[in-house]
Amino acid sequence: MKEINNSIQNIRERILQAKEELNYSYSGLEKSTGISSSSLQRYLTGETEKFPIEAIISLCNALGINAAVLLGWKKNEWDDTPADEEITLSGHTYVHVRYPDTKEVIDRFNQLTPENRVRFDAYLEGLLAGQEKPDA
C-alpha cells in the first residue's frame, strides 16, 4: 500500500491554490466530485484533520492535478512510474490516470472565437450525451 509522502497541509494548500486559479466554488467542486460542499470546506480549511484519500483523488481529478505527484508517490509528472498506476488504499483500488491539464484546456478555450466557442460547446454536449452513465 502506498503511503502519503506529502503533509496534509501541503496537499490542502495545493488543492486550494488550484481551486482559486480555476475560480471553482465549493458548490462547483461538489458537482464535479460528488462530495458535499460543507465536507469539502472542512477538508480544505483544516477544520477537520480527517481528509479521506478518496476525497483527495476526486479533487485532484476535478482540478487537473496529478494526484501521484501531489501525494508524493511520484517526483514529477515525467517520473518513470506508469501513469495508470494502480493504488490500493483501505481495501479499494484506484487507478491514477493522467488527464490533460485543466488550466491549459481553459486557456485554450479562452483563445477561441465566439463562433468556435459555440461549436466547442455543441461538440462537448454531444460527447457528454453519448458517454455511459456511471453505476450509482
**Which pLDDT value is given to residue 62?**
87
Residue pLDDT, tens place only, 34-65: 999 999 999 999 898 888 888 988 898 888 88
For residue 118, count CB atoms less than 10 angstroms from its CB and return exposed for 0-12, middle for 13-18, buried for 19 or more.
Answer: exposed
Chain mean position to CA 17: 12
- Span 68-73, mean pLDDT? 72
Q: Which residue has the cell 494548500?
A: 13
Q: Determine what percent of the chain is predicted with pLDDT higher than 90.
A: 13
In a domain, 78, yes or no: yes
Identity of the residue numbered 134: P
The residue that leads in pLDDT, 4 or 108, is 108
DSSP H or E run through 95: strand 92-95
What does the alpha-carbon distance between residue 128 and residue 95 come to, in Å, rounded to a whole number?
22
Q: How many domains does the chain have?
A: 2
**Which pLDDT value is given to residue 95?**
56
Q: Are residues 93 and 106 in the same domain?
A: no
Q: Are residues 43 and 20 in the same domain?
A: yes
**Which pLDDT value is given to residue 78?**
47
Domain that holds residue 116: 100-136
Confidence at 25, pLDDT banded by 50, 70, 90: very high
- Return the CATH number at 49: 1.10.260.40
Q: Are residues 92 and 27 in the same domain?
A: yes
- Span 70-75, mean pLDDT? 67
The answer to whether the pTM exceeds 0.75 is no
Confidence at 136, pLDDT banded by 50, 70, 90: very low
**Which pLDDT value is given to residue 40?**
94
Number of helices (H) and strands (E) in the chain: give both, helices first.
7, 2
In a domain, 15, yes or no: yes
Confidence at 127, pLDDT banded by 50, 70, 90: confident
